[in-house]
Chains A and B, each alone.
Chain A
Amino acid sequence: NAGVTQTPKFQVLKTGQSMTLQCAQDMNHNSMYWYRQDPGMGLRLIYYSASEGTTDKGEVPNGYNVSRLNKREFSLRLESAAPSQTSVYFCASKDSPYGYTFGSGTRLTVV
């Protein structure tokens, strides 16, 4: 079905390792977002891309980088993972004035 696809679904990293979380949407949406979700904190915006070719920092960007590869794909990179980055990461896209479509998340544990 159409929507937002995130890979991988689960990942365990050692402190200091790097990895890239992949996100792709097939709805031709212009805007894409990366959030992290931690217990009791709701979802916090890490980075977003309002359109292809642009990226901007969100509320909690430290320790992350992003790439808007094309209109479909928006990746999130952790260069040197830390235990504080243990979280569930969600990618979302949006085109209409309201309402995000979220992926099913990547559950990341950094040990």
Chain B
Amino acid sequence: TQLLEQSPQFLSIQEGENLTVYCNSSSVFSSLQWYRQEPGEGPVLLVTVVTGGEVKKLKRLTFQFGDARKDSSLHITAAQPGDTGLYLCAGAKSNTGKLIFGQGTTLQVKP
């Protein structure tokens, strides 16, 4: 059972375009994290959101946690080829620290 649904699964855009990746669930999470993974490497944490409605910005990346803490989005402004990679959302449901991951969104930004 996939508790976190990410969309789209694949995205190929031109440099300079904007994009949004969505992460949706019917479950409530205590926190939600976004990771970026490059080929041959492990995921690297980008951000953690904790409070419903929270918005965090990391340069050209904007992360939002839904008011009900069931969904999140990642918006990239003016995408660059260096943004290419696999983006993963992950929700935490308990104090054990176990994370449930979405399927991932593969982003390709063409020069």
Contact = CB atoms under 8 A, between A and B. Distances in A.
Nearest to B2: A42
B98 interface: yes
Contacts of A105: 40-42
Contact of A92 (B6, B42, B102, B104): B42
Contacts of B88: 42-43
B89 to A, nearest CB: 9
Interface residues on B, range: 20 to 34
Given A40-B104, A44-B101, A105-B40, 15 more contacts: A31-B97, A35-B101, A40-B9, A41-B103, A42-B6, A45-B98, A48-B96, A48-B98, A50-B96, A90-B42, A90-B43, A98-B33, A102-B44, A103-B42, A105-B42
Closest 4 CB pairs of A and B: A102-B42, A42-B101, A98-B48, A43-B101
Interface of B: 2, 4, 6, 9, 31, 33, 40-45, 48, 50, 88, 90, 92, 96-104
20 contacts: A35-B101, A40-B9, A42-B2, A42-B4, A42-B88, A42-B103, A42-B104, A43-B90, A43-B101, A45-B100, A48-B96, A56-B96, A58-B98, A97-B31, A98-B50, A100-B33, A100-B43, A102-B44, A103-B42, A104-B40
